[in-house]
């Protein structure tokens, strides 16, 4: 069916792509893209980098310009969806209005996970997920002020780099034994800790936050053991919580994300889902995965659009990610969960060289690669990992630039 009304809930990367792909796949009926931020769909990765640093505008971050949606007859609606009536095929909006659908797509993304400690609601405590979040941070980010970043993951470290470039005194507090502990090998963590310390950032690991203190606004971060870290602003980066409440309330299957099959269908085959809010089984890794990745969101959206149009496409691309910090571009191919061996090409402990690759193996098989300033290694890793080709260790070392 390519006629009728297709509703896309969530004006995210996946939502914007899905709406565009519906037209490309031949949907001839009405397409309505519903978002609640009051802006054109925009790129989120630059928020903690170029946008926070004031090097780009919201208009420049737009995924597509306004005239694209007009030409493709994609209606943009600024509203919040409160519930789904699957029997009547309707969604209820805040304010009492409703919209009917023939096919529905959920691209609801996620929200920044809140810090569950006293004082977390004080003025001056920020999260980083939307453009309005970043604008509030920029208002507080005056040179010489003391910024405390809670969380040493990618968002926390990217934010630390951006705030340091703006002239702030930056401290990163990570509860784990090392930064990036959940996603990288110790050698990669040690490299990024050194890079940030060399840039003037104070990096504290095993730093468990117990409370945030202050009167009219946040003034300090209190650690387990009683130490107090002074703060003029705090940015919390402790993960993403998928927006699954809408799907769960409608009776769709949810398990750390809206569960989809390899055609992006939910447990209701008239409803598809894509992006950060979804969870699906990846045959390549033999487990159910929820990915927070723009490339994966875009691929899922394209597959979901094809499914809505009655075509047979499947989710198959290799997951990949990236992180920009200072002059370093980290490109990640695959998922390293369960690795039991690493192979280093280049020396991350060398102060002179700022490029290397960490290859991850499980039971002798290459499963992922972290490539720092090595686009050639990254391209090779993607080509090799996608079909699961066997590769010798000598070949991996041989692709490194001299």
DSSP labels, 306-349: HHHTT------PPPEEEEEETTEEEEEEE--TT--EEEEES-TT
Residue 141 DSSP one-character state: -
| Domain finish residue from 236, 270, 297 | 236
Q: Are residues 133 and 211 in the same domain?
A: yes
Q: Are residues 174 and 76 in the same domain?
A: no
Q: Are residues 205 and 285 in the same domain?
A: no
In a domain, 119, yes or no: no
Tokens matching residue 59: 């208009």
In a domain, 315, yes or no: no
What is the value of pTM for the model shown?
0.94
CATH number at residue 71: 3.50.50.60
Which structural domain, as residue segments, surrounds residue 383? 327-398
Q: Are residues 183 and 246 in the same domain?
A: no
**Count of domains in the chain?**
3
- Residues 109-145 have pLDDT tens digits of 999 999 999 999 999 999 999 999 999 999 999 999 9
In a domain, 321, yes or no: no
Alpha-carbon distances of 167 from 4, 15, 16, 60, rounded to whole Å: 54, 36, 35, 24
Q: Are residues 266 and 225 in the same domain?
A: no
In a domain, 313, yes or no: no
Closest CA to 314 of 327, 322, 304: 304
Beta-strand ranges (E) seen in 97-232 are 98-100, 103-106, 110-112, 125-127, 146-150, 169-173, 202-204, 209-213, 220-223, 228-230
Q: Are residues 211 and 249 in the same domain?
A: no
Alpha-carbon distances of 347 from 123, 303, 325, 358, 369, rounded to whole Å: 43, 40, 18, 10, 15
Residue 62 DSSP one-character state: B
In a domain, 384, yes or no: yes
Q: Are residues 303 and 207 in the same domain?
A: no
The pLDDT of residue 365 is above 80: yes
The pLDDT of residue 269 is above 50: yes
The predicted pLDDT at position 351 comes to 76
Closest CA to 77 of 61, 95, 57: 95
| Spatial separation of the C-alpha atoms in residues 346 and 230, rounded to whole Å | 38
| Spatial separation of the C-alpha atoms in residues 354 and 326, rounded to whole Å | 11
What lies within 8 Å, CB to CB, of 218 at 6+ separation is 119, 122, 123, 124, 125, 212, 231, 232, 233, 234
Closest CA to 49 of 322, 320, 292, 331: 322
| Spatial separation of the C-alpha atoms in residues 30 and 292, rounded to whole Å | 29
Q: Are residues 181 and 225 in the same domain?
A: yes
| Spatial separation of the C-alpha atoms in residues 129 and 133, rounded to whole Å | 6
The predicted pLDDT at position 232 comes to 97
The predicted pLDDT at position 119 comes to 97
The pLDDT of residue 343 is above 70: yes
The pLDDT of residue 273 is above 70: yes
In a domain, 92, yes or no: yes
85 forms beta bridges with: 90
The pLDDT of residue 389 is above 80: no
The predicted pLDDT at position 401 comes to 47
The pLDDT of residue 322 is above 60: yes
In a domain, 46, yes or no: yes
Contact by Cβ (8 Å): 219, 146: no
* Mean predicted lDDT score pLDDT of the chain: 94
> Long-range contacts made by residues 36-41, C-beta under 8 angstroms, separation at least 24?
36/11, 36/78, 36/79, 36/80, 37/11, 37/78, 37/130, 37/131, 37/132, 38/78, 39/131, 40/11, 40/64, 40/65, 40/66, 40/69, 40/76, 41/11, 41/12, 41/13, 41/15, 41/16
In a domain, 57, yes or no: yes
Residue 353's pLDDT band (cuts 50, 70, 90)? confident
What lies within 8 Å, CB to CB, of 357 at 6+ separation is 344, 345, 346, 369, 370, 371, 372, 374, 377, 378, 381, 396, 400
Alpha-carbon distances of 334 from 23, 231, 300, 318, rounded to whole Å: 30, 37, 16, 6
Closest CA to 179 of 320, 53, 330, 292: 330
- Neighbouring C-alpha atoms within 13 Å toward the C-beta of 218: 30
φ and ψ at residue 22, rounded to 5 degrees:
-60, -45
Alpha-carbon distances of 237 from 102, 153, 156, 173, 363, rounded to whole Å: 38, 7, 5, 10, 33
Task: Tell me the longest C-alpha to C-alpha distance in the chain.
Answer: 64
Contact by Cβ (8 Å): 45, 27: no
Q: Are residues 88 and 18 in the same domain?
A: yes
Residue 251 DSSP one-character state: T
Q: Are residues 387 and 362 in the same domain?
A: yes
Q: Are residues 99 and 12 in the same domain?
A: yes
The pLDDT of residue 400 is above 60: no
CATH number at residue 347: 3.30.390.30
Q: Are residues 177 and 223 in the same domain?
A: yes
- Residues 233-267 have pLDDT tens digits of 999 999 999 999 999 999 999 999 999 999 999 99
| Domain finish residue from 217, 236, 255 | 236
The pLDDT of residue 313 is above 60: yes
| Domain finish residue from 208, 236, 264 | 236
The pLDDT of residue 402 is above 60: no
The pLDDT of residue 204 is above 50: yes
């Amino acid at each position: 069916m390519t006629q009728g009304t297709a509703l896309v809930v969530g004006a995210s990367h996946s939502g914007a792509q899905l709406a565009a792909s519906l037209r490309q796949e031949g949907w001839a009926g009405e397409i309505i893209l519903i978002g609640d931020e009051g802006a054109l769909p925009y790129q989120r990765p630059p928020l903690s980098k170029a946008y926070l640093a004031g090097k780009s505008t919201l208009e420049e971050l737009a995924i597509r310009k306004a005239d694209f949606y007009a030409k493709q007859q994609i209606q943009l609606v600024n509203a919040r969806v409160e519930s789904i009536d699957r029997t009547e095929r309707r969604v209820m909006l805040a304010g009492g209005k409703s919209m009917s659908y023939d096919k529905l797509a959920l691209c609801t993304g996620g929200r920044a996970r809140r810090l569950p400690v006293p004082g977390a609601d004080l003025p001056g405590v920020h999260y980083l997920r939307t453009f309005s979040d970043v604008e509030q941070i920029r208002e507080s980010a005056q040179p010489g002020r003391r910024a405390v970043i809670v969380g040493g993951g990618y968002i926390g470290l990217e934010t630390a780099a951006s705030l340091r470039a703006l002239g702030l005194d930056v401290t990163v507090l990570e509860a784990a034994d090392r930064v990036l502990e959940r996603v990288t090998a110790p050698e990669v963590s040690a490299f990024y800790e050194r890079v940030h310390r060399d840039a003037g950032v104070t990096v504290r690991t095993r730093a468990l936050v117990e409370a945030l203190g202050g009167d009219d606004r946040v003034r300090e971060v209190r650690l387990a053991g009683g130490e107090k870290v002074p703060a003029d602003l705090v940015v919390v980066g402790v993960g993403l919580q998928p927006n699954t409440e809408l799907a769960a309330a409608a009776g769709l299957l949810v398990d750390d994300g809206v569960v989809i099959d390899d055609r992006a269908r939910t447990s209701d085959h008239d409803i598809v889902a894509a992006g950060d809010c979804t969870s699906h089984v990846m045959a390549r890794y033999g487990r159910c995965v929820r990915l927070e990745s723009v490339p994966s969101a875009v691929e899922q959206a394209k597959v979901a659009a094809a499914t809505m149009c009655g075509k047979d496409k499947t989710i198959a691309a290799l997951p990949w990610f990236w992180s920009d910090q200072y002059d370093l571009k980290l490109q990640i191919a695959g998922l390293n969960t369960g690795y039991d061996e690493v192979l280093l090409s280049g020396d991350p402990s060398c102060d002179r060289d700022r490029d290397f690759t960490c290859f991850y193996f499980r039971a002798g098989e290459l499963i992922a690669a972290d490539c720092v300033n090595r686009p050639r290694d990254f391209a090779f890793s993607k080509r090799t990992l996608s079909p699961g080709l066997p590769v010798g260790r000598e070949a991996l070392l041989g692709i490194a630039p001299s």
